[in-house]
Structure 1
Amino acid sequence: MGRLRRGRATLAAGAAMCALMALPGQAAAAGTPSPYVFADRAVPVEGAKSSMGSAKLTPGSTYKSSLARGDKLYYQLQLDARETAYVSATAAPGLDAHVVYGDGVKVSLQDANGNNCNSQDARFGTSQSPRPITAWAVREVGPTGNRCKAAGTYYAVVERNTRPGSSTETWDTELRVVSEPGVAKGATTTPPESWNSAPPTPPGGERKERRGGTGFNDARALRTGVWGDRIEPGQTLFYRVPVDWGQQISASAELGSASGGQGDYVTSAFVMSLSNPVRARIDDADTAYDGKQRTTALEPLAPIAYENRYSPIDGVAGTRFAGWYYLSVHLNPQVARQFGGGPLDLTLRVNVDGSAKAGPSYVGTARPADQFSVTGQDKDAAARGETAAGDSGGDGGGSGSGNGDVMRVVAAGGIGAGTLLLAVLGVWTLIGRRRAAGQV
């Protein structure tokens, strides 16, 4: 019995010490939500001020970098003549960063002659609230366009757009490079002219708890249904939904009423966004908040089809492939100042309509593999409520990957790093006393 107790005490001390070591600096304070969880295998990379000597990025990989105020950074890619390449940059300002309407990030893809293949930007907009935002660019091969089709060296250019009054702090950024293979000849290039654009009926039924993640890498998997969560002012929660070829996704989000506080309404208080498998933003919606329950919903989207990419409408062109689609919801920190700082109830209504169809005849393999498909494992992950890291929280499960759940327990209990250290020392003292007693 003495050995068993010592074993349990040792395990408890080890678990507490591991939790202490896992505490990131910015989350050491109890209850402070992490602004973004980066990929576990993200490769550190430094952007160059010039194209010469820029670090090389490889399709299928994820990188961690940074972006200072006014930066324009270069990264290099080697691409063949058959693959369509997507580069996304997710900027994650600190929770206390001050951002204004025009602040944001821009991504461009250029060839070796400085020709611009494509560029997109992302801005904080009217909410003026710090949160993860993602911009992307594509180098596309196919029957349309003339530039940027040759094999060779290309450059991803990541810029930070700033306006007077914005924060001077450096933003952490996550870069992701995805390669899509070409398709067999004969694939249609005619985008859809019409589809069922009637507002879908939101699903009803029982509300089941699923805790959202803090980024693309620990986004909680959902399927058709009604899902519940809690969101803090200033927090951004991420979810992911598998959508196959021929299927149509719709979603709405309801923010619960506040129990206390008073004041004028907060404009753009509640923001919901939808991104496709390469993290390109397809649509977003926002609503003001006056302390009463509010609902916002995405516009009806086209069914997933390869030929959607040829549409001049961004919302249609973004639904160009099957895979994981990402929902994010953000609550403006101004809500805490107007209506109290406690978490508010959140309800997501997600619907995936239509039967899965056969996808295009790809010639080659995507990088990463299975990037543009929905597998049986993906459907199982959505049924169980797994994060992208494989954490299965199920109904009512926590979010995060690796030590994320441990951190949430520590934060929820109000245990800071110092308190936790005292607990560890106390456990080791108890072990020492029991060992001494055993020797006597």
Structure 2
Amino acid sequence: MSSSLLLPLLFIGCSSFYGQCATISITPGGTAFQDALDVVNPGDVIELSNGDYWEDLKTRTDGTADMPITIRGAGGTGDKENVVLRGAGTSTRVLEIKHDYYIVEDFTVNGHAEGDPDRDADSDSAQDMWRDVLIYAVANREPTERAGGYISAIDGLVIRNMAVTNAGGECIRLRDHVTNAEVYSNHITDCGIYDFREDGDGKNGEGVYVGTSSKQWDSDKNWDDVPDVCMGNIIRGNYIRTRGNEGIDVKEGTVDTLIEYNEVYMQYDDDSGGIGSRGDRSIIRYNHIEDTDGAGVRLGGHTVDGIEYGKNNQVYGNTMVDCRHSAVKVMVDPQGQICNNDVTLPDYVDEDDYKYSGGNFYYDPLKPCDSSPTPELGPTPTPVTLSPEVTPEPTTESPTIEAPTPEPTPELTPEPTPEATPETLPNGMATLQ
């Protein structure tokens, strides 16, 4: 039976150039989910009924800033554990976002594939048991100049109120000139199963990975062999427990990333950190980082063609607990303000022996923030969504570590402006506008 028969359309009031916007309600089975992605237009909503969707998916068309395309669970945030995308094993990516202005919300992406009806029951290989990358934003098209003067291949992606769990590799990846993405209020767990729990010999396993390592710039997965300038992305209010590598990792070439109000746990690579920025001008603030083999926050680390990446980042107002390598690890200089962080040492470490600051350059993470000049932020693309909720919704999977969540402040989303300039706070810290 054609899965298109499972796509009843409910038209809502949304007149536009494309006609009426549709809500496309689907149920699991066959290729129902991909069939819906094949026919959506800007402003449409794909609504997922409860059940398991054994499909690998790719978007086919762009939304617009005024009329984004929404993919959501029918039961809302509180019912997301009952709507589960599991992949099909035909691709290394389960949900592939390749176009502008998508909102992905209120369901689960689970890479545990043991129950796949098409899986070889005699195989227990890691690749057959676990999907690789769960949500992957990469356009495979030439970046173009957008209104405001920035270059983008995918603009305005929103991933919110999702549960993303059990990835062989990365849980969420933004790659090749992704701009204005907002990843917030998600529950992200168990990333990097291939390398950290199975027999892999790598270190792949990030919760949210932004950009492209310079070692992969010449990969055919990117449009061209140039730095991957992902710009103006916001990672906010997520619960992240990878049991793998960084909770959030920002690669060289990436600029102006805002990372705030996240809870990051169980990072198990002593060379990296709970949060890492090899990009420039990241603001890392008000996060709770706990139980890391590496640093709480690592900055810099790569020089490419004589250019040192990972400079002019700011790290303030974070809580770091049991970060075994060091609180911060600074590999390049200069940085912006690194100050007003609260550090709780591992139980077995004497304060005189602990490295509050590791790496090549010393920055005291505990010192008060002052009014000294901070690096000016570059132009940041205009965000496209309303101010989000900050607290991640509970899921059926309980956190293994209880920890306080930093109290959110009323100012959560940078104020949209075609050409952003930094606002200087009384203490001299810049914040995105």
TM-score range, shorter chain: under 0.3
Q: TM-score, normalised by structure 1?
A: 0.23
Q: Which has the higher contact order (CA 8 A, sep 6+)?
A: 1
Structure showing greater radius of gyration is: 1
TM normalised by structure 2 equals 0.23
Which structure features the higher share of helix residues?
1
